């Protein structure tokens, strides 16, 4: 197994999408963001996009089988990739197990899970800040933003234990400047 597969983990607004851009350039990895894939489906007005739009605008998770199917298609399409950065995926235990199974079938696996740790009020500030400029509907409403953070705490944060049991969890301080956080991620990958 000589591929590098990174799970970039953290609550909404932790900087996963932001940091992925640096990591994909530095390590030549393919970036797979379930949030971006879902927003592309919404943009294309597909049936899947219509279903996802309702859930996303309410701050809820999209069903596991939908996101697992999207990720599986992308992973299978890129057999020669040096590896992947999984950004915003997995978000539930069922997704994590499905990811392990699909990578195992390809003779590969997760190398490391990097968990960005950020204080809750900072998350709310960052997301509402982006909502004011980017037009992402799920970033505009404070109630929806807090609902997403609640979903993370209830369904997604427990995955740290799943990866910890495999010896793959690395906690990264996600407070501070974007450059400093990139340095911490690089140190965790190369250290
Ligand atoms: P995502 O698209 O994954 O969005 P996100 O969690 O809000 O994080 P994102 O990566 O975009 O933001 P970042 O922290 O980089 O998910 C959206 C929705 O899609 C979910 O709510 C869910 O409904 C659905 N979904 C996605 N994946 C799913 C799955 N696997 N299962 C089920 N449902 C799924 O950045 C946020 C802001 O902070 C930016 O403005 C950025 O510029 C800023 N920022 C970043 N780092 C900073 C720093 N150090 N200092 C200051 N600001 C910073």
CATH number of the domain bearing residue 89: 3.40.50.300
Q: What is the pLDDT of residues 30-58, one digit of tens each?
A: 999 999 999 999 999 999 999 999 999 99
Tell me, yes or no, whether 97 lies in a domain. yes
Atom of ligand 1 nearest to the CA of 55: 23
Over the stretch 141-152, which tens digit does the pLDDT of each residue have? 999 999 999 999
pLDDT at 1: 55
pTM of the model: 0.94
What percent of the chain has pLDDT above 70? 99
Q: Is residue 131 part of a domain?
A: no
pLDDT in tens, 62-100: 999 999 999 999 999 998 999 999 999 999 999 999 999
90 falls within a domain: yes
| pLDDT the model gives residue 71 | 97
Give the number of domains in the chain.
1
Residue-averaged pLDDT of the chain: 96
Tokens read off for 102 = 């699909």
Nearest residue (by CA) to ligand 1, atom 30, is 89
Answer whether residue 48 is part of any domain: yes
Query: In the chain, which residue ranges form alpha helices assigned H by DSSP?
Result: 16-27, 34-43, 47-57, 64-77, 93-105, 120-134, 142-151, 159-165, 178-190
Residues with CB under 6 A from ligand 1: 12-18, 34-35, 38, 55-56, 59-62, 67, 88-89, 91, 95, 126-127, 129-130, 138, 148, 177-178, 181
Centroid of ligand 1 to alpha carbon of 13 (angstroms):
5
Between the CA of 110 and the centroid of ligand 1 the distance, in Å, is 21
Residues 7 and 110: their CA atoms lie apart, in Å, by 7
- pLDDT, mean of residues 148-177: 98
- Residue 190 pLDDT > 60: yes
């Amino acid at each position: 197994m000589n591929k590098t597969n990174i799970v970039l983990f953290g609550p909404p607004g932790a900087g996963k999408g932001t940091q992925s851009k640096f990591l994909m350039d530095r390590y030549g990895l393919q970036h797979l963001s379930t949030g971006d894939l879902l927003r592309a489906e919404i943009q294309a007005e597909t049936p899947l996009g219509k279903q996802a739009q309702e859930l996303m605008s309410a701050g809820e998770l999209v069903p596991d089988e939908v996101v697992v199917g999207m990720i599986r298609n992308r992973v299978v399409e890129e057999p020669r990739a040096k590896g992947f950065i999984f950004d915003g995926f997995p978000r539930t235990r069922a997704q994590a197990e499905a990811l392990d199974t699909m990578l195992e079938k390809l003779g590969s696996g997760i190398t490391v899970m990097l968990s960005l740790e950020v204080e809750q009020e900072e998350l709310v500030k960052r997301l509402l800040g982006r909502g004011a400029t980017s037009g992402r509907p799920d970033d505009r409403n404070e109630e929806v933003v807090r609902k997403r953070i609640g979903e993370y705490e209830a369904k997604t944060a427990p995955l740290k234990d799943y990866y910890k049991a495999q010896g793959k969890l690395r906690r990264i301080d996600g407070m501070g400047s974007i450059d400093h956080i990139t340095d911490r991620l690089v140190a965790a990958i190369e250290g």
